[in-house]
């Protein structure tokens, strides 16, 4: 389906949670000198202008990243996250918000690589333009953008030559089959590359698909997982809308759970909209 454009939602509460987790995963990878790959199955446009176009329609960033922008006493991981976004915004005015590839770009080192998949023709054009400006695109360069289905493309890049990778899987779930597709993609990915770190984003909706997917992900034959979710609203009586989101991380670094224990109460306080605001943080290891 090609109707989804992430620019409508750029910088919202779900982006804050997703990109905080992504930042911490890549920071951990950088603790070793060995290179890594970042693989993004649904890369979007790369970064987003919050002052014009789709992002202004619902201005979801106002109830997301904007609420953290001037907070003086954030936990260190959240403060670091806000700071790297401020570096991309002149005079401290919130205008640009990074997509997942742009967050990853910030932590990219000389020998690390990014493989970005995007199916929407308009977004893949913007994605190419974003990284072309930095002369990062092309064979042999740090970033390779591929116009196509990220689920299918994932098979071709696993395992990466480095045997170290963070894989982000965050489809829009407009197609209800995406929940099942994610599980199948993860089953195949684990067979190909069991030691990779995988981060699966999901929306919290009143439809049961996301919960069924998470339950199946918990049954994967892996060494460990973390499931973290942030609910910002009480679910509406009419059943409409996303009231929260989550990240399911396979083979997480040992440092991640402690980081989330520090950050999630703060995100609940700052991003919650009513008494329904809450978070879940659970994990398992073999």
pLDDT band for position 54 (cuts 50, 70, 90)? low
Per-residue tokens: 136 = 């990062």
Hey, where are the domains in the chain?
A: 6-201+208-222
The catalytic residue among 40, 112, 123, 170 is 170
**What DSSP designation does 8 have?**
G
Helix H or strand E encompassing 221: none
pLDDT digits (tens, 9 = 90+) for 104-158: 999 999 999 999 999 999 999 999 999 988 778 877 789 999 999 999 999 999 9
More confident of the two residues 139 and 183: 183
Place of tokens 């979710």: 229
Q: Categorize the per-residue pLDDT at 192 as very low, low, confident or very high, splitting at 50, 70 and 90.
A: very high
Which backbone phi and psi does 195 adopt, to 5 degrees? Answer: -95, 0
CATH number 3.20.20.70 is the correct assignment for the domain at 6-201+208-222: no
Mark whether 274 is an active-site residue: no
Length of the chain (residues): 286
- Where are any strands of DSSP class E within 75-160? 96-98, 113-118, 143-147
3-state secondary structure of 30: coil
Quote the pTM value. 0.95
């Amino acid at each position: 389906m090609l109707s989804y454009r992430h620019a409508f939602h750029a910088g919202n509460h779900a982006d804050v949670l997703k990109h905080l987790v992504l930042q911490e995963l890549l920071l951990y990878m950088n603790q070793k000198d060995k290179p890594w790959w970042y693989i993004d199955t649904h890369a979007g446009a790369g970064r987003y202008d919050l002052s014009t176009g789709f992002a202004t329609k619902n201005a979801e960033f106002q109830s997301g990243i904007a609420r953290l922008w001037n907070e003086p006493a954030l936990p260190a991981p959240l403060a670091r996250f806000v700071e790297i976004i401020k570096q991309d915004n002149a005079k401290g005015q919130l205008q640009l918000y990074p997509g997942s590839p742009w967050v990853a770009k910030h932590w990219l080192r000389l020998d690390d690589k990014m493989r970005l998949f995007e199916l929407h023709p308009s977004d893949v054009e913007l994605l190419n333009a974003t990284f072309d400006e930095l002369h990062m695109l092309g064979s042999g360069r740090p970033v390779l953008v591929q116009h196509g289905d990220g689920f299918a493309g994932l098979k071709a890049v696993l395992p990466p030559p480095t045997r170290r990778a963070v894989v982000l899987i965050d489809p829009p779930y407009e197609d209800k089959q995406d929940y099942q597709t994610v599980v199948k993609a993860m089953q195949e990915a684990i067979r190909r590359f069991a030691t990779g770190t995988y981060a699966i984003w999901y929306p919290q909706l009143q439809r049961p698909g996301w919960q069924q997917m998470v339950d199946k992900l918990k049954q994967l034959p892996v060494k460990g997982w973390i499931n973290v979710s942030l609910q910002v609203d009480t679910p509406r009586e009419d059943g409409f809308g996303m009231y929260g989101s989550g990240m399911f991380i396979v083979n997480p670094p040992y440092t991640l759970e402690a980081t989330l224990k520090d950050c999630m109460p703060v995100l609940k306080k700052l991003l919650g909209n009513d008494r329904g605001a809450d978070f879940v943080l659970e994990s398992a290891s073999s």
